[in-house]
Structure 1
Amino acid sequence: MDEIFGKIGTAQTLSQKIERRIEEAIRQKKLLVGTKLPSERELCEMFAVSRTALREALRRLSARGLIQIKKGSGMFVSELKIEDAIESLNLYYDLSFDSDLISQIIEVRRVFEPEIARIAASNRTDEDLTALNKNITDLADCDPDNTQLEADIINKFHLNVAKATGNKVMIISMEPIYSLLPRMRNLIYANVDGEKDFTIKAHRAIFEAIRDKNGEQAYQEMAGQIDRTLEIYTQYLK
């Protein structure tokens, strides 16, 4: 481990250089998931730095989820999970939520979701179809006064379309966006009559295209639904 924990010197911010050195080792897989790091005392000696600088670097690495500090056991390289990446984006979108973000989200959905539906039509499994069909049934059966539950079900439908692609990158990219759909729907559709009926019909059309492995039709149906969202957003909020 000498090449990883060699002396740094005293130039610039020591804690940042320590953090960068350990992060690079993790990125380059010189330190694998589960690897136990040397003790604080050993790291101070290897880096030739003070304990204060080291602890600040370790604190930031821990906050970013790159290492896990277990009291009484030591420090270990963490396993980065999809949920961690999604949670960070969820926080960003929540803090940035406004009418401008809604407009940008709709633009992103218009670019990506039709293609996601096309890929889902090729890769979907029977389990995917079962989940999508249940979402539509749940939406149809939902109490019309329970707009929050309706929005949650719509969120699940679009997320399940993304999951049907079998592409983890698509899920990571789109799930935080879908998490905003309940808030967007409550804001945009609060006073739009007949929107639930339209949404159910649109979801059924998307489902049927995916079920029939008709990628082009799935693309068109998804694009049509998002165009409708853009139309209503432009009419009511701009």
Structure 2
Amino acid sequence: MDEIFSKIGTTQTLSQKIERKIEEAIRQKKLVQGVKLPSEKELCELFGVSRTALREALRRLNARGLIEIRKGSGMYVSEIKIEDAIKSLNLYYDLSFDSNLISQIIEVRRIFEPEISRLAARNRTDEDIKILTENIADLERCDPDNTQQEVDTINRFHMNLAKATGNPIIIISLEPIYSLLPRMRNFIYANVEGEKEFTMNAQRNILAAVEAKDEERAYLETEKLVIRNHEVYERYLKKVFK
């Protein structure tokens, strides 16, 4: 602990230097997730600073989610979860939602989703196939007047396809994007004839390829679906979301 909480000079803002010092220790895993930090009094002595400067640094670290302050217990290095990263991206995309973002998302999907299906075909388990099959069955049973239920079910299929890759980074990257798609799909399935049927058939073809572990076919079937999504956006949605 002494090398982490050593005394620091006063040439810069003390609170910023304290914040940077603790953050660096967390990033370098000298302070691991869940570990309890020394008390405020101990930290003041270790750093050789006032309580005011220390508290300002701790307040900022807490606001950034790097440490957790538990009343009556102490201060702990936060445990960073995948869900936290996804929530931050969800907020960013929600606040940035416009026609430009939609176009960019479609471009990203066209680049990544075929490769995701290829990887899912390679790594999928029997349980993944069961879940994806249930997703399609749920979509077939959806009330045609309940567009929201339909789009939520379609999104679940694609998220579960991403999970079938076995790569958590893909889930972090794609889940916030999929969270925006219901806004588009609600409009599509309510107003564009035949799109739900096209999507169901595309999902069946993707599932068949993934189940057969046919990586190339999984790639091509997914590419067809994303290209169709882009065509629909250009034809029907571009003006709506301006």
Structure 1 length as normaliser, TM-score? Answer: 0.96
Equivalent residues of 2:123, 2:164 under 8 A apart: yes
Question: What secondary structure, in the 3-state scheme, does the structure 2 residue paired with 1:46 have?
Answer: helix
**Alpha-carbon shift at residue 48 of structure 1 (Å):** 2.3
Q: What are the Cα deviations for residues 121-159 of structure 1, in whole angstroms up to 9, with x where unaligned?
A: 010011100110111111111011111111111111000
Aligned CA-pair RMSD? 1.2
Q: Distance in 1 between matches of 2:158 and 2:179?
A: 10
Write the mapping of 1:55-134 to structure 2, written as runs, cut at 5 A. 55-134=55-134
**Alpha-carbon shift at residue 49 of structure 1 (Å):** 2.3
**Alpha-carbon shift at residue 181 of structure 1 (Å):** 1.6
Give the stretch that moved more between structures: 187-196 or 143-152.
Answer: 187-196
Question: What secondary structure, in the 3-state scheme, does the structure 1 residue paired with 2:227 have?
Answer: helix
Change (3 A) 1:187 1:6: farther
State the partner residue of 2:207. 207
Structure 2's unaligned 5+ residue stretches are: none
Q: What are the Cα deviations for residues 177-232 of structure 1, in whole angstroms up to 9, with x where unaligned?
A: 11112122124444111111011000000000001100000000111101011001
Asked whether 1:30 is paired with 2:37, we answer no
**Alpha-carbon shift at residue 5 of structure 1 (Å):** 0.9
Residue type of the partner of 1:166? G
Q: What are the Cα deviations for residues 70-103 of structure 1, in whole angstroms up to 9, with x where unaligned?
A: 1111111121111111111111111111111111
Q: Distance in 1 between matches of 2:52 and 2:232?
A: 55
State the partner residue of 1:177. 177
Residue type of the partner of 1:54? L
Question: What secondary structure, in the 3-state scheme, does the structure 2 residue paired with 1:179 have?
Answer: helix
State the partner residue of 1:41. 41
Q: Distance in 2 between matches of 1:148 and 1:188?
A: 11
**Alpha-carbon shift at residue 63 of structure 1 (Å):** 2.1
Write the mapping of 1:144-155 to structure 2, written as runs, cut at 5 A. 144-155=144-155
Q: Distance in 2 between matches of 1:83 and 1:117?
A: 23
- Segments ≥4 residues shifted beyond 3 Å: 187-190
Question: What secondary structure, in the 3-state scheme, does the structure 2 residue paired with 1:69 have?
Answer: strand
Structure 2 length as normaliser, TM-score? Answer: 0.94
Q: Distance in 1 between matches of 2:223 and 2:32?
A: 42
Residue type of the partner of 2:112? F
Question: What secondary structure, in the 3-state scheme, does the structure 1 residue paired with 2:83 have?
Answer: helix
Equivalent residues of 2:36, 2:77 under 8 A apart: yes
Residue type of the partner of 1:100? N
Q: Distance in 2 between matches of 1:154 and 1:16?
A: 46
Figure out how many residues of one structure are paired with residues of the other and give that number. 238
Q: Distance in 1 between matches of 2:94 and 2:13?
A: 32
State the partner residue of 1:20. 20
Q: Distance in 1 between matches of 2:4 and 2:33?
A: 15
**Alpha-carbon shift at residue 68 of structure 1 (Å):** 1.3
**Alpha-carbon shift at residue 44 of structure 1 (Å):** 1.7
